Structure 1
Amino acid sequence: MVRYRRNHVAGATYFFTVTLRNRRGDALVRNIDLLRESWRCAMKRVPHEVIAAVVLPDHLHAVLTMQDNRDDYSRLWQEIKKGFTRRLGAPSPWQSRFWEHTIRSESDLSAHVDYVHFNPVKHGLVASVSAWPQSTFHRYVRSGQLPADWAGSREFPQGFGER
């Protein structure tokens, strides 16, 4: 068995990609309420702050700051996946692993938050970021951090990754 070396830095911020086995499925958006409920329960067990997140049909991206003093993000994803699978009442749809990147600077954080928000456009699911409902982009708009028409086309916006 391959042992992955994961970076753990107390209180750090990380970018994650978590995918379903069936990369052509839509279980995540079709069952978004189950995923949200699972994530809320997992947050109680493994405290973290959601900086940015987007849920697509077959995968999700998230930028999270861990708040458990151990940065036990592996346990967090285990809790989310387990809770979703149990609520779904079916065999686990998840790939067993996830991808993680430690955020190292403000520009790295900005680039990853932009990547998360632009992802539905990148995958051709919508023509504008604001058209995808399962994204923290809408929270950024409500707080005045981004305009509602940010990245309105299929091309990366000018200044992508900069704020």
Structure 2
Amino acid sequence: MHYRRHYLPGGCYFFTVVTHQRKPVLTEQPTINVLRHAFQWVQKRHPLRINAIVILPDHLHCIWTLPETDHDFSTRWRLIKGMVTKHGQINTPIWQKRFWEHTLRDEHDLQAHTDYIYYNPVKHGYVLQPADWPYSSFRRDVARGLYPADWGGNPLLPDNLGNE
């Protein structure tokens, strides 16, 4: 199969990156710290805005916006994955060979994918509400006033009963 990526200068993209054989290693120490460092290192050399991100044990989702004259998200992912592989202190392969990307078309598409990212830890059963997951930019967006702190919480929790 010949997969063709859609490269758009200044584009906004949704990504899914998965670990090799879905091994739950991304939120373990020291891997999570190496992953954070890799993102910071790449951002300094190849600017990008991280609109939203969530890191789960076996995969991550994020939305990036690239500079107006730049479309090269593949190099950024190669560098991030390479740094984690080299410095993550895991003796087996860490990543699936590819990643999945989707070019976001408009504000509605961006909002739908951001909601998907933030709800993902709840969907997978790690937490009862997005604000409880530590490896996400959700709380950053709450502080910016983009989401209420209780967004995406389970309405059937005992402390939410009767408050509809």
Both proteins in one fold, TM over 0.5 = yes
Separation (CA, whole Å) in 2 of partners of 1:78 and 1:154: 40
What's the counterpart of residue 5 of structure 2? 6
What's the counterpart of residue 33 of structure 1? 33
**For residue 101 of structure 1, what is the amino acid of its counterpart?**
H
Q: Which has the higher strand share?
A: 1
Runs of 4+ in 1 over 4 A off after TM superposition: none
Matched, 1:106 2:107: yes
**For residue 72 of structure 1, what is the amino acid of its counterpart?**
D
Secondary structure of the equivalent of 1:95?
A: coil
Separation (CA, whole Å) in 2 of partners of 1:7 and 1:135: 26
Secondary structure of the equivalent of 1:151?
A: coil
Corresponding residue pairs, total:
153
What's the counterpart of residue 17 of structure 2? 18
Separation (CA, whole Å) in 2 of partners of 1:18 and 1:154: 30
What's the counterpart of residue 78 of structure 1? 78
Query: What do you get for the CA RMSD once the two structures are aligned?
Result: 1.6
Secondary structure of the equivalent of 2:10?
A: coil
1:18–1:98 contact (8 Å) kept in structure 2? yes
Gaps of 5+ in 2: 157-164
- The TM-score, its normalising length taken from structure 1, stands at 0.89
Q: Percent identity?
A: 44
Matched, 1:132 2:130: no
Cα deviation for residue 68 of structure 1 reads: 6.8
1:129–1:152 contact (8 Å) kept in structure 2? yes
Gaps of 5+ in 1: 156-163
Separation (CA, whole Å) in 2 of partners of 1:40 and 1:125: 26
In structure 2, relative to structure 1, the CA distance for the partners of 1:45 and 1:152 (3 Å cut) is same
Secondary structure of the equivalent of 1:22?
A: helix
- Describe the superposition over 1:1-24 as per-residue Cα deviations: whole angstroms up to 9, x where unpaired: x4320001110100000000131x
- The TM-score, its normalising length taken from structure 2, stands at 0.88
Separation (CA, whole Å) in 1 of partners of 2:119 and 2:32: 19
- Describe the superposition over 1:65-94 as per-residue Cα deviations: whole angstroms up to 9, x where unpaired: 012723111111100000111111334310
- Describe the superposition over 1:7-61 as per-residue Cα deviations: whole angstroms up to 9, x where unpaired: 01110100000000131x3211002111000111111232110000000000000
Larger Rg belongs to: 2
